[in-house]
A and B are shown apart, each in its own frame.
Chain A
Amino acid sequence: MNRLVVGAHYGLKDWLAQRVTGVVMAVYTLIVLAAAMGGATASREAWQAFMANGFIRFISFLFIVSLCYHAWVGIRDIWMDYLNSAALRVILHVLTLLALVGYAGWAVQIIWRL
């Protein structure tokens, strides 16, 4: 069956999410930069104290989740733009999702262990 099909009726949520997660990452970057300039990264102990702070843990988690969601939409767009085979797209979508979820868990585990 080679009929062309469009009309999946999604896209708005991902488009909006990509914008929102972009803002979250930008704000987090500014906070970490400001903290670094304030001496929070001067020594290992200072780093550790900084990352152990409850608020920083909270926003670090948000940053990682945002990064992964943002990357999911972006990478999926690349597959959709450049790959014609639907089978190949499905495989790569799934692999991308699995990799990002795995990385998110791993990153959170590292950050929260500090």
Chain B
Amino acid sequence: MTNANRTVQFKIYRYDPDQDAKPYMQDISVEIESTDRKLLDAMVKLKAKDDSIAFRRSCREGVCGSDAMNINGKNGLACLTAMDSFPEGKPIVLRPLPGLPVIRDLIVDMTQFFKQYNSIKPYLINNDPPPERERLQSPEDREELNGLYECILCACCSTSCPSFWWNPDKFVGPAGLLAAYRFIADTRDQATSERLDDLEDPYRLFRCHTIMNCVDVCPKGLNPTKAIGKIKEMMVRRAV
């Protein structure tokens, strides 16, 4: 299916709280060209056909994290999901990210997600006067931040996590904990102990039961479970 145009079937979650009493699934199809390689390309075509469909998108290359959604039951970014990864003849089912309030169609209210992210103080805390150029790290120390700083906060992981579904107000969630470890691991940060104190909590950290849904869905291939494990390991090292 590389050259010809083809028609793709969609089943899309629709909900406009101003008009609809409750959400429903809309069947809609759209003709795509061979150059429409990613799901987002097809969705842009879809939007041209029915402009009442609402979804977020921006950079279209997996950097901004806006177009996270539930694609055939699994969270992912529309812009990174290849059209030829879908089985032919079956409709592509699109739903909003699970567990967050729906604003409209595929757009969810991310307030709770960002609240948790903010709660871990996602910035470097260092009370020394800043040096003239920059705070230096050894290459080995810098190495530790790989696999942590790349997170784009798309919320695919946290919204696939049952612990986050049940306690989104108390459990930091995989994205927030990955970011927490990013600063705990940073040798330039001086608030390590306070950060560990803050996470030493049955809800904030220990709601993670290591089911690894987060790892399964991360569109950037990151591993929040590993980061969470390292936080726990640091707590153990601190305690014994």
**Interface pick from A4-12, A38-46, A105-113:** A4-12
Mask of A7-42 contacts with B, CB within 8 angstroms, 1/0: 111111111100000000000000000000000000
Residue pair B236, A8 in contact (C-beta under 8 Å)? no
Mask of A58-89 contacts with B, CB within 8 angstroms, 1/0: 00000000000000000001001110000000
Report the minimal beta-carbon distance from A35 to chain B, rounded to whole angstroms. 32
Report the minimal beta-carbon distance from B225 to chain A, rounded to whole angstroms. 14
Q: Which of A6, A14, A15, A16 contacts B203 (CB 8 A)?
A: A6
Residue pair A11, B170 in contact (C-beta under 8 Å)? no
Cα–Cα distance between A107 and B56 once the two chains are bound (Å):
59
Q: Apart from A7-B204, A80-B202, what 20 extra A-B contacts exist at CB < 8 Å?
A: A4-B170, A6-B170, A6-B201, A8-B201, A9-B197, A11-B202, A11-B205, A11-B206, A12-B206, A12-B232, A12-B235, A12-B236, A12-B239, A13-B239, A14-B206, A15-B206, A77-B209, A80-B203, A80-B207, A81-B207
Residue pair B207, A7 in contact (C-beta under 8 Å)? no
Q: What total count of A-B pairs have CB within 8 Å?
A: 45
Nearest A residue to B165, CB-CB: A81
Report the minimal beta-carbon distance from A60 to chain B, rounded to whole angstroms. 28
A-B complex: 8 closest residue pairs judged by Cβ atoms: A11-B206, A11-B202, A12-B235, A81-B166, A6-B170, A6-B203, A9-B200, A15-B206
- Which among B198, B201, B207, B209 has the greatest number of chain A C-beta atoms within 10 A? B201
Cα–Cα distance between A9 and B238 once the two chains are bound (Å):
14
List 6 contacting pairs A-B, 8 Å CB cutoff, sorted by A.
Answer: A6-B204, A8-B201, A9-B197, A13-B239, A16-B236, A80-B167
Within 8 A of A (CB), among B186-232: 197-198, 200-207, 209, 232
Q: How many residues of B contact A (CB 8 A)?
A: 20
Residue pair B163, A81 in contact (C-beta under 8 Å)? yes
Cα–Cα distance between A4 and B167 once the two chains are bound (Å):
12
B169 at the A interface (CB under 8 A): yes
Mask of B70-107 contacts with A, CB within 8 angstroms, 1/0: 00000000000000000000000000000000000000
Cα–Cα distance between A68 and B239 once the two chains are bound (Å):
24
Nearest A residue to B196, CB-CB: A12
Report the minimal beta-carbon distance from A99 to chain B, rounded to whole angstroms. 20
Q: Which residues of B contact A82 (CB under 8 A)?
A: 166
Nearest A residue to B232, CB-CB: A15
Residue pair B203, A10 in contact (C-beta under 8 Å)? no
Q: Which residues of B contact A14 (CB under 8 A)?
A: 202, 206
Q: Which residues of A contact B236 (CB under 8 A)?
A: 12, 16
Q: Which of B166, B169, B201, B209 contacts A9 (CB 8 A)?
A: B201
Cα–Cα distance between A16 and B198 once the two chains are bound (Å):
18
Nearest A residue to B167, CB-CB: A81
Cα–Cα distance between A7 and B206 once the two chains are bound (Å):
12
Cα–Cα distance between A26 and B4 once the two chains are bound (Å):
59
Q: Which residues of A contact B205 (CB under 8 A)?
A: 11
Report the minimal beta-carbon distance from A44 to chain B, rounded to whole angstroms. 41
Q: Which residues of B contact A12 (CB under 8 A)?
A: 200, 206, 232, 235-236, 239
Cα–Cα distance between A8 and B202 once the two chains are bound (Å):
7
